[in-house]
């Protein structure tokens, strides 16, 4: 279930304008609408895409979330967060 909730949050933040606006206004309040624990909230707020993928979140959702919401929307930074050398990979190498 945890993965499903995380995926729902990231999907919403990737495509829904209202969700994006509410998250930007007050991220903690927005995330409070979902059954997330402290670690889930941390992963989302810190854009910890590697950990999100490690708990089973779809790599395309982490990439979409990064592109839409990250302060640094560069793919090179996304790949560094993943620990990946590939310029275009959405998934964890390993």
pLDDT in 10s for each residue of the chain, 94 residues: 689 999 999 999 999 999 999 999 999 999 999 999 999 999 999 999 999 999 999 999 999 999 999 998 888 889 898 986 544 455 544 4
Longest Cα pair distance anywhere in the chain, in angstroms? 36
Phi and psi at residue 3, in whole multiples of 5°? -60, -40
pTM of the model: 0.85
Q: Number of helices and strands (H, E) in the chain?
A: 7, 0
């Amino acid at each position: 279930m945890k993965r499903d909730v995380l995926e729902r949050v990231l999907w919403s933040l990737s495509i829904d304008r209202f969700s994006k606006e509410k998250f930007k206004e007050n991220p903690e309040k927005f995330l409070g609408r979902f059954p997330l624990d402290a670690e889930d909230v941390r992963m989302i707020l810190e854009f910890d895409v590697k950990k999100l993928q490690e708990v089973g979140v779809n790599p395309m959702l982490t990439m979409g979330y990064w592109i839409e919401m990250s302060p640094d929307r560069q793919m090179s930074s996304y790949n560094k967060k993943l620990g990946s050398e590939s310029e275009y990979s959405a998934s964890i190498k390993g």
